[in-house]
Amino acid sequence: MKNQFNIPVSDYYQHSHIAVDGRGIIFNIQRFSIHDGPGIRTTVFVKGCPLECQWCCNPESINVAEEVMVHDIKCIRCGKCKEVCPESAIISLEGNRRIDLQKCTYCMECVEACPGKALESIGRYISVGEVLEEVKKDVLFYQNSRGGVTISGGEPLFQWEFTRDLLKTCKKEGLHTSLDTCGYASWEVLGEVLKYVDLVLYDVKHTDNDLHIKGTGVSNNLILENLERTASILRTWLRVPILPGYNDSSENVGKVASLASRLGVEKVSLLMYHEWGRSKYEKMGRDYLFLPDGEIGDERFKEIKKVFNERGVKVTLDDE
């Protein structure tokens, strides 16, 4: 099986994608999160993902490297970014600044030189200990709400050794741990990480393999195989984005509901499609590829929830 980079998945996860000094690369640590598992949580967003979902609301999460995000509204047209760029990757076009991403090496000299903060560095290398320092600031909230720490992404298994070490350290501190994953990794990798996980938030995009490849760039065979094994040994919630014209058909909804019922997952969270992250694509020089076919109204969501309820599956909307 291969991903969009044409690399066998067995080789793809052979490497940990961690800096030489043992740090991982993340793009956010979100405190007081209430949608990534039970209670109040701190969610660590790891950079890098083997899937390229057309609707992804965090395009900055896909590449496992530092990137530049452009905020044109903050640009004061001083030209300092162009002056310092060693690759001549920044050009002036009709009074505006543009970055040639084919030339850019992400040295971040332009970010440091920008007085208006119009250029932002996305991604920072961080050690397990540094993450833990941030996480432990909210221990009292975890205790009072039965919350904890969630590792999300991107795809946490992309940096599986860093993710494993972080989860292991959190467990040593007595913290509840959750893993938000698409499950696209060898079982050797996933199983090693799951040793330190209390709850799995498992993403299911589509049950049809061809449509899964069309929407995400990868097959769902390995994902569904790993879901079977995961749900048999750990507390599992399914997360299902409902995407107009892609996976909202009665056939697919019924198959997901039957799958959830057969596996005995604790609950299914239906995630409404939105375009809140669409503006990020332009800021990162990318195209937004997903074209929704209409909208899904409240009545349709009620119908979808009924399908799950009829199969004895608890279902919530947007992780309520």
* 236 bridge partner residues: 200
Helices (H) and strands (E) in the chain, counts: 12, 13
Q: Where are the alpha helices (DSSP H) in the chain?
A: 9-12, 80-84, 109-113, 128-135, 139-145, 160-172, 187-194, 209-216, 221-233, 250-263, 278-283, 298-310
What pLDDT was estimated at residue 228?
98
Q: What is the pLDDT of residue 93?
A: 75
Mean pLDDT of 287-316: 93
Task: Report the distance separating Cα 272 and Cα 256, nearest Å.
Answer: 16
pLDDT for position 194: 98
Cα angle, residue 291 at apex, residues 288 and 294 outer, rounded to 5°: 145
pLDDT of 274 above 60 = yes
pLDDT at 317: 85
Average pLDDT over residues 83-91: 93
Tell me the pLDDT band of 12, cut-offs 50, 70 and 90.
very low
Strand 90-93 relative to strand 96-99: parallel, antiparallel, unpaired? antiparallel
Question: Residue 9 above 60 pLDDT?
Answer: no
pLDDT in tens, 164-218: 999 999 999 999 999 999 999 999 999 999 999 999 999 999 999 999 999 999 9
Residue 221 class from Cβ within 10 Å (0-12 exposed, 13-18 middle, 19+ buried)?
exposed
Q: Quick: pLDDT tens for 258-269.
A: 999 999 999 999
| Rounded-to-integer distance, Cα 190 and Cα 226, Å | 8
Q: How confident is the model at residue 232 (pLDDT cuts 50, 70, 90)?
A: very high
Give percent above pLDDT 90 in the chain.
82
The Cα–Cα gap between 25 and 47 comes to 6
- For 40, the enclosing helix (H) or strand (E) is none
One-letter amino acid identity for 162? Answer: F
CATH topology of domain 67-122: Alpha-Beta Plaits (3.30.70)
Domains 9-64+126-317 and 67-122 share a fold: no
DSSP codes, 194-263: HTT-SEEEEE---SSHHHHHHHHSS-SHHHHHHHHHHHHHSEEEEEEEE-TTTT-SHHHHHHHHHHHHHH
At the second CATH level, the architecture of 9-64+126-317 is Alpha-Beta Barrel (3.20)
pLDDT score of 20 more than 70: no
What are the tens digits of pLDDT across the range 65-82? 999 999 989 999 899 999
Q: What is the residue extent of each domain of the chain?
A: 9-64+126-317, 67-122
Percent of the chain with pLDDT over 70: 92
Taking only the tens place, the pLDDT of each residue in 110-158 is: 999 999 999 999 999 999 999 999 999 999 999 999 999 999 999 999 9
Residues 6+ apart with CB under 8 A from 157: 13, 163, 181, 183, 184, 185, 189, 190, 193
Give the residue-averaged pLDDT of 81-106.
Answer: 87
pTM of the model: 0.91
In angstroms, the first-to-last Cα distance of the chain is 35
Per-residue confidence (pLDDT) for residue 2, from 0 to 100: 35
pLDDT at position 42 over 90: yes
Q: Which residues is 181 bridged to in the sheet?
A: 202
Q: How far is CA 40 from CA 22, 33, 127, 144, 239, in A?
A: 28, 6, 23, 9, 18
